[in-house]
Chain A
Amino acid sequence: MARRLPRRDVVIVGLGWTGAILAHELTDAGYDVVAIERGPWRDTATDFNVGYMPDELRYAIRQDLFLKPAQETFTFRNNTTQTALPIREFGSFLPGNGVGGAGVHWNGHTWRFFPSDFNLKSHLDQRYGPGFVHKDLQVQDWGFTYDEIESAYDRFEYLAGISGKAGVLKGQVQTGGNPFEGPRARDYPLPPMKMTLAPTMFAQAAQGIGLHPFPTPSANLSGAYVNPLGIAMGECTYCGFCERFGCSNYSKSSAQTTILPLLMRKSNFEARTLCEVTRVNMHPTGKHATGVTYVDVNGEEFEQPADLVLLCAYGLHNVRLMLLSKIGQSYDPNTGEGTVGRNYCYQTNSGVQLFFDDKIFNPFIAAGSLGQTVDDYNGDAFDHTGKDFVGGAGINCIPTNGRPISFRPVPPGTPRWGSAWKKATKDNYLRAFGFSSQGSSYAIRGNYLDLDPTYKDRFGNPLMRMTFDFPDNDIRMSNWVTDRMQEIAKALNPRQAVVSRRTKPYNIVPYQSTHNTGGAIVGADPKTSPLNRYLQSWDVHNVFAIGASAFPQNAGKNPTGTVGALAYWAADAIIQKYMRNPGPLVQA
């Protein structure tokens, strides 16, 4: 029997980026907030300690900071004709765990999606005519526009001290920035990072063939910064231990480095760690939630009543909690009915590796988002007339690290062991670099999330089942962009260029991207989205689900910038609209 605790105004599930932002905004507005986090408390000095953080085996290979599959995993299959099996060991994507969430171990690429990404269906219909978007694609509008969330993007960028160069400032294209981005009200808070050799060469080659390279917007700080909350961060030292690591240097933006030092001092905020929410509790009418139930690390069960429930876990876990709690109807790919689990999307990537004889790249001098990007072939930045696909990809030269258990480039045909392997490894380690495409991922009917009929977590609750393969549209897109990447590779004039194209089937083993999106998407129609434009459940008005789970489809960009913007967008709606008059913010 769960022990019932005193009620709070707001209960937040998960204390990562979105949980910390929402908690900060709501406590500032005077509400009493408790955040429940299933992982441990984590902070820089103790948990990302400079004395032992540069440890590839522990953090990158054994995945010390991530969610352990023993705690919760997913089942997976490529399509509905297969039986889903559990992901016993995480590979393709790596969900976070603990305070700070996946925002602890991210690389720091901080993008705004294009304006056309938000009204995607209407935009494509208008530009190319109805019928151009293939009927199999469930491309949808978000229910709000880029202009409506521009200020939310700005707040996240200034919270996090993003280093970059504006491309379009108040409508004016700026030299050296991304000319394809949506208009921004002001420049980034910090200038771009210093460039290493590889992205410098990449940018020169891309520019030489008429493209528009620019410094990747980065949450690895190019200089010292004090954010609007008064929290100070330091200059990045280019150690090359970003992705899969916490930053020891207070140089990578995270909840730890931008919010928690202030949030934790507030008397109307409480964090409970090592406590796992197992369901949102519903009033018998099914119209509103009464709070959450959680189990602490010793197995004791608690009920935390609250007036407002904010799901701020990793996107996939938001979807699972909605399914387990029966908030909204589970999506059925056969009938197309139900909305929770609909439009699960991912990322469609490819790569090129280049080998040189006469260059020293020092790959270990790096940062998670130190690099250059070309957006000429991303989203709908280019004309798709006559093409057999929609969408696109950013082309990124961002050599993040030279950590040698994983990073040991050798030319194809090299044996995997023995003296010949060793010589090739020694000869090429300093003399190779790569660049990659990060492609959009558009929804199709058969890609979705639901509860698995067989496999359970350690509490006996069903695991979530992921059914996914790359849509043919996205494969065609990726192949076309990869052809363009070969043009850049040729301009770089390497000894050898090795192309890795994206192919089906999607494989859960090799790491690809922790950009799992959709499943609890926003939209204008309750028949095709479980959330309205404010990330509020259409069915249960006092539940909001904030995260990349809200993306109707994924763009060719990293999600965190947009996730941060969604957190501010939802916070404003909750404080300015919902709290004054609790109920549906949009009439179905």
Chain B
Amino acid sequence: MTHDAAPPVSVTRRRFLASTAAIAVLASAGGRAHAASLSGILPWQPYSATPPTPVVPGGWTFFTPAEARAVEAIVDRLIPADDVSVGGKDAGCAVFIDRQLSGSYGSAQNLYMQPPFANGTPSQGFQSPLSPTGRYRQGLAGLDAYCKANFAGKSFDGLSPAEQDDLLKKMEANGIKFESGDAKSLFELLLQNTMEGFFADPIYGGNKDMVSWRMIGFPGARYDYRDHIDKHNQPYPLPPVSIMGNSTWVRR
């Protein structure tokens, strides 16, 4: 959907000086932003919307194979497979986290990351110099070292489900120290990102087949409930849809 309709910056500049009433430009071509001068018309340009790019499963873009095995095991304990739903791994939560870490979220591109860094009070919020990618890399290394030292050389994914749950509970309760990274903050980050993946639109790689939405009864990206607004205390009858649509819309 890239296009080259935006004029060169110099045209925009001339507009500032010319001060005539006509549209000059629009903002983004190939992702590069230009300042714009808009006058005389409500600006509009075809194909200037920015839909999300669907995640394609398969392979890892951030995690190493060992990290991926640990994260898959963790998301499967946070959201275990049971009679209510599939587990976090099959729902795509590890893939979701991997792809998020490869994007602007992982690099903390939008956050204020200028020094000096200092430890504040809890009410002052997050103050780490590490981006989410850094926190995962350090934290997962710390987890791996801890497991190997305490479980006869095994990694997290080699532990029994009961051992895994026990270790995750200790991390959650801040009752454990890693050599690298902070166990409690790694747990909180994992829990947050796993839930995001499980409940977000499936376009981001998790919530496969809208499993979580079916589980709780959330109809997803529907846009008009006028037919049901007056039907108090009655279940909503239609299945969920994603931004990508619904699997029944596609020929298999």
Contacts and interface: CB of A to CB of B under 8 A. Distances in A.
Given A197-B233, A264-B42, A402-B218, A83 B118 contact: yes
A56 B85 CA distance: 21
A402 B221 CA distance: 11
A85 B127 contact: yes
Given A404-B218, A419-B82, A422-B85, A194 B230 contact: yes
B59 to A, nearest CB: 21
A40 interface: yes
Given A69-B112, A249-B223, A404 B49 contact: no
Contacts of B152: none
In this complex, the member of B52, B111, B118 whose beta carbon has the largest number of chain A beta carbons within 10 angstroms is B111
A5 to B, nearest CB: 5
Contacts of A56: 199-201
B229 A196 contact: yes
Contacts of B27: 40-41, 273-274
Nearest to B244: A52
A41 B26 CA distance: 8
A340 to B, nearest CB: 23
Contacts of A5: 16-17
Contacts of A239: 222-225
A425 B26 CA distance: 45
A88 B120 CA distance: 12
A264 B121 contact: no
Interface residues of B, number: 86
Q: Chain A: interface secondary structure?
A: loop
A282 interface: no
Contacts of B223: 50, 54, 237, 239, 248-249
B38 A200 contact: no
Interface string A419-441: 10011011001100000000000
Interface string B216-234: 1111111111101110111
Interface in A292-312: 296-298, 302
Interface string B27-45: 1100001111111111111
Interface in B103-149: 104-105, 109-114, 116, 118, 120-127
A61 B112 CA distance: 17
A371 B116 CA distance: 45
Contacts of A272: 16, 35-38
A128 B230 CA distance: 46
Interface residues of A, number: 93
A362 B114 contact: no
A41 B109 CA distance: 21
Interface in B66-87: 77-80, 82, 84-85
Interface string A390-402: 0000000000001
Interface string A83-97: 111111101000000
A426 B101 CA distance: 28
A297 B31 CA distance: 13
A46 B200 contact: no
A492 to B, nearest CB: 14
A343 B17 CA distance: 41
Interface in B172-219: 172, 191, 194-196, 199-201, 203-204, 212-213, 215-219
Given A54-B221, A78-B123, A274-B36, A362 B243 contact: no
Contacts of A45: 44, 49
Contacts of B215: 422, 425-426
Given A360-B234, A419-B84, A41 B36 contact: yes
A376 interface: no
B163 interface: no
Given A43-B44, A49-B51, A62-B105, A422 B33 contact: no
A51 B243 contact: yes
Given A78-B123, A264-B43, A237 B224 contact: yes
B44 to A, nearest CB: 7
Contacts of A55: 52, 201, 203, 221, 243
Given A274-B36, A404-B218, A505 B123 contact: yes
B72 to A, nearest CB: 15
B159 interface: no
B48 interface: yes
Interface stretch (A478-486, A506-514, A580-588): A506-514
A321 interface: no
B156 to A, nearest CB: 15
A194 B230 CA distance: 8
Interface in A33-67: 40-41, 43, 45-47, 49-52, 54-58, 61-63
A500 B54 CA distance: 39
B160 interface: no
Contacts of A85: 118, 120, 124-125, 127
B48 A265 contact: no
Nearest to A15: B38
B11 interface: no
Contacts of B44: 43, 45-46
A68 interface: yes
A328 B127 CA distance: 33
A560 to B, nearest CB: 23
A88 B112 contact: yes
Given A5-B17, A249-B223, A455-B114, A296 B35 contact: yes
In this complex, the member of A6, A61, A85, A508 whose beta carbon has the largest number of chain B beta carbons within 10 angstroms is A85
A264 B126 contact: no
Contacts of B52: 52, 55, 58
Contact of B123 (A86, A456, A508): A508
A265 B127 contact: no
A319 interface: no
B196 A267 contact: no
B235 interface: yes
Given A360-B235, A365-B236, A418-B165, A297 B35 contact: yes
Contacts of B126: 88-89, 509
Contacts of B26: 41
B228 A359 contact: no
Contacts of A402: 218
B112 A86 contact: yes
A57 B111 contact: no
Given A41-B38, A302-B16, A426-B215, 20 more contacts: A41-B26, A43-B43, A43-B44, A46-B45, A70-B110, A82-B120, A82-B121, A83-B118, A85-B120, A87-B125, A194-B230, A239-B222, A264-B38, A264-B40, A268-B21, A362-B235, A364-B218, A364-B219, A364-B225, A507-B123
29 contacts: A5-B16, A45-B49, A56-B199, A56-B201, A58-B52, A62-B105, A69-B110, A77-B124, A83-B118, A85-B125, A87-B125, A88-B125, A235-B226, A272-B16, A272-B37, A272-B38, A274-B27, A274-B36, A298-B9, A302-B16, A360-B234, A365-B236, A405-B195, A405-B199, A408-B216, A417-B79, A505-B121, A509-B125, A509-B126
Interface of A: 5-6, 40-41, 43, 45-47, 49-52, 54-58, 61-63, 68-70, 73, 76-78, 82-89, 91, 194, 196-197, 200, 235, 237-240, 248-249, 260-261, 264-275, 296-298, 302, 359-360, 362, 364-365, 402-405, 408, 416-419, 422-423, 425-426, 429-430, 454-456, 505-509
Ranked 3 nearest A-B pairs via Cβ: A296-B35, A267-B21, A69-B112
